[in-house]
Structure 1
Amino acid sequence: MSAPTSPADLYRHSLRLLLDKNIPGWVGLWAEDSLMEFPFAPDGLPKRLEGKEAIAAYMRHYPDHIDLHDFPAPRIHQTTDPETIVVEMRGVGRVIQTDSPFDMTYIAVVTVQDGRFTSYRDYWNPLALEAGTDFTGRSR
């Protein structure tokens, strides 16, 4: 199966890969010179990842820290730019280290070109972090 090319379809496909814990497949959806940003990241966490390799390194161990169970009812909004979408979603699961619930709300501004993510601004809420852990469950 070829990767979906519309931004909304590609995004939905990416969520499925995350739920399947297929991080290499998820990273494969990114352009080589892509950019991932976390404008609200607290001190000590990256605010900007430049390039597919940096994104891959950041996400490589995600399934070891967060066991994602669902992204219930994501809302994908098309913008006036056909390559850009705005996504409202929730990720639910559990933090593996503490076996506590994981429930994070996100808003993302995502740009896709030639069927690959090129820009992803992730506006997650740092106030939802558990004390002493980052969003992946790793100790800070």
Structure 2
Amino acid sequence: MSRTPQEIFQSYVHAGAMTRNADALAECFTEDGVFEAPLMPAGAAFPRRLEGRAEIRAAMAAYYERQATGDGRAPNVERSAYVLHTTADPDVFIAEIDTVFDGDDGEEDRAVSLVQIVRVRDGRIARLRDYFSPDLMD
């Protein structure tokens, strides 16, 4: 039985943004899956393009480890939202995402909007293109 776009997306968000579990995130992808952040400049801390489950696992584990020394703020699930859009191609869906991070004492909340285009195969992500402002990953 094939998973729905909703199920695939929820697994991906839980593994990545919510728990920062590189192993679980990599398992959301096909063995030859591709994760892309096309707007990221070359050499940025956040990877621009990862090919294959093993590379996704290793690179995201390293990225999450570097982030562990940062502010470590998690998204405010109650205030964040997303809408999934299906397309004429049943293997492609688009995620329109608005994530809110609570501000620290006296800081304003931080809202992040982005779009992801997801191509699936056999219930896993075959290609994910993540479009967001690179300065959000500083």
Which interval holds the TM-score relative to the shorter structure?
Answer: 0.7 to 0.9
Name the aligned partner's letter for residue 123 of structure 1: Y
Name the aligned partner's letter for residue 8 of structure 1: Q
What percentage of aligned pairs have identical amino acids?
28
| TM-superposed deviation, 1:15 | 1.4
Which runs of 5 or more residues in structure 2 are unaligned? 103-107
- 8 Å Cα contact 2:91/2:119 also seen in 1: yes
Change (3 A) 1:47 1:116: same
Partner of 2:41: 42
Which runs of 5 or more residues in structure 1 are unaligned? 95-99, 130-134
| Structure with more helix by fraction | 2
Partner of 1:21: 20
| TM-superposed deviation, 1:120 | 0.3
- 8 Å Cα contact 1:90/1:103 also seen in 2: yes
Alignment of 1:71-86 (within 5 A): 72-86=80-94
**TM-score of the pair, normalised by structure 1:** 0.73
Name the aligned partner's letter for residue 94 of structure 2: V
CA RMSD of aligned residues (A): 2.8
Q: Quick one: distance in 2 between partners of 1:108 and 1:12?
A: 13
Name the aligned partner's letter for residue 20 of structure 2: K
**TM-score of the pair, normalised by structure 2:** 0.74
Aligned residues: 125
